[in-house]
């Protein structure tokens, strides 16, 4: 069962075209799956494997490594409270407790209505705003427990909530799509222009990483007339 429609597959091909090597598109394509399914599903990973010419196990190996690629259903709004040094020393636990109490869920959990997920995040590089949090990766600085409750109430009521930079908090699937398609619509054809600067021959577009043995059919097309 395919989860990526023909339209999504054409977006996927545009993403793949950004890179000299198809496999490099693994992370954005997994974000694309997340933008459709809400998390990275088995069938979505099979689609990614199909598009990239990998095995599903290889896609799982990559996808399971990264914390933003979610392995179980997520809420529409993911609240990530930073737990690292500066935030902890400035009272992150109070922010965290307020969110936990308000939502009635533990870290890694999602409310039964599917609206909110909560997680303890590692340093979000917002230490100047400690204690800080992100909601669907928009930043909130110097958060107080009562503010967390207010923000959750506003989101639950469908109101517009703005980050410290004035960006509107958008649903998780929208943000996953934005992440998947970062930098699209750019011209990406320089292979033929290189020699104008310095000379030299073109590399194979699907070359294997230099530090690994080439695995026919995975890292590169099978060598012609090769094996026996």
Partner 1 sequence: MIDETYMVLKRAREFPKDSWTLKRALDDGAYDNLKKAVTEISQADLIELVKNAGLRGKGGAGFPTGMKWSFVPKDVFPKYVVINHDEGEPGTFKDREIAERDPHQMIEGIAIAAYAVGANKAFIYCRGEFALGSRRMDRAIKEAYEKGFLGKGIFGSKFDLDIVLHRGAGAYICGEESALLDSLEGFRGQPRLKPPFPAIKGLYGQPTVVNNTETVSTLPHIVANGVDWFKGFGTEKSPGTKVFSVSGHVERPGNYEVAYGTTLDQLLDLAGGMKDGKTLKAIIPGGASAPLLTHADYALDFDSLKEAGTMLGSGAVVYMDETTCMVRNALVTTEFFAHESCGKCTPCREGTSWAVKVLRRVESGEGRQEDMDLLLDIANGMDGRSFCPLGDAASWALRSNVKLFREEFEAHVREGRCTFDGEHKELVGARSGIDTGISQQGDEGLGGEDRLS
Q: List the interface residues with partner 1, window 142-161 (CB under 8 A).
A: none
Q: Using the rule CB under 8 A, is 102 a contact of partner 1?
A: no
Q: Using the rule CB under 8 A, is 108 a contact of partner 1?
A: yes
* Closer residue to partner 1 (CB): 125 or 216: 125
DSSP 169-219: P--HHHHHHHHHTTT-S-----TTTHHHHT--PPPPTTPPPTTS---BTTT
* Residues 104 and 141 sit within 8 Å (Cβ to Cβ): no
Q: Using the rule CB under 8 A, is 220 a contact of partner 1?
A: no
Q: Using the rule CB under 8 A, is 14 a contact of partner 1?
A: no
Q: Using the rule CB under 8 A, is 185 a contact of partner 1?
A: yes
Q: Using the rule CB under 8 A, is 57 a contact of partner 1?
A: yes
Question: What does the block give as tokens for 198?
Answer: 């310095």
* Residues 36 and 8 sit within 8 Å (Cβ to Cβ): yes
The nearest distance, CB 139 to partner 1, in angstroms, is 7
Q: Using the rule CB under 8 A, is 221 a contact of partner 1?
A: no
CA distance 82 to 91: 10
Q: Residue from 10, 13, 42, 217 that binds partner 1 (CB under 8 A)?
A: 42
End-to-end CA distance of the chain: 36
* Closer residue to partner 1 (CB): 13 or 106: 106
Q: Using the rule CB under 8 A, is 50 a contact of partner 1?
A: no
Q: Residue from 36, 68, 156, 218 that binds partner 1 (CB under 8 A)?
A: 68
Q: Residue from 138, 145, 161, 172 that binds partner 1 (CB under 8 A)?
A: 138
CA distance 65 to 61: 7
Question: What does the block give as tokens for 80?
Answer: 């990530």
* Residues 207 and 220 sit within 8 Å (Cβ to Cβ): yes
Q: Using the rule CB under 8 A, is 216 a contact of partner 1?
A: no
């Amino acid at each position: 069962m395919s989860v990526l429609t023909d339209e999504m597959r054409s977006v996927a091909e545009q993403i793949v075209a950004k890179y000299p090597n198809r496999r490099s598109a693994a992370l954005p394509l997994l974000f694309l799956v997340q933008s459709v399914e809400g998390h990275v599903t088995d069938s979505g990973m099979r689609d990614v494997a199909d598009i990239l010419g990998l095995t599903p196990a290889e896609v799982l190996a990559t996808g399971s490594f990264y914390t933003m690629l979610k392995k179980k259903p997520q809420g529409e709004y993911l609240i990530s409270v930073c737990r690292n040094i500066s935030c902890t020393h400035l009272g992150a636990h109070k922010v965290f407790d307020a969110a936990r109490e308000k939502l009635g869920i533990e870290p890694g959990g999602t409310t039964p209505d599917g609206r909110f997920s909560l997680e303890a995040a590692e340093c979000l590089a917002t230490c100047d705003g400690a204690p800080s949090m992100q909601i669907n990766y928009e930043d909130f600085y110097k958060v107080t427990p009562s503010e967390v409750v207010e923000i959750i109430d506003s989101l639950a009521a469908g109101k517009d909530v703005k980050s410290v930079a004035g960006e509107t908090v958008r649903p998780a699937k929208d943000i996953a799509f934005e992440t998947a398609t970062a930098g699209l619509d750019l011209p990406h054809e320089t292979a033929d222009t290189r020699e104008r600067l310095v000379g030299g021959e073109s590399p194979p577009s699907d070359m294997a990483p230099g530090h690994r043995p080439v695995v026919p059919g995975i890292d590169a097309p099978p060598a012609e007339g090769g094996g026996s």
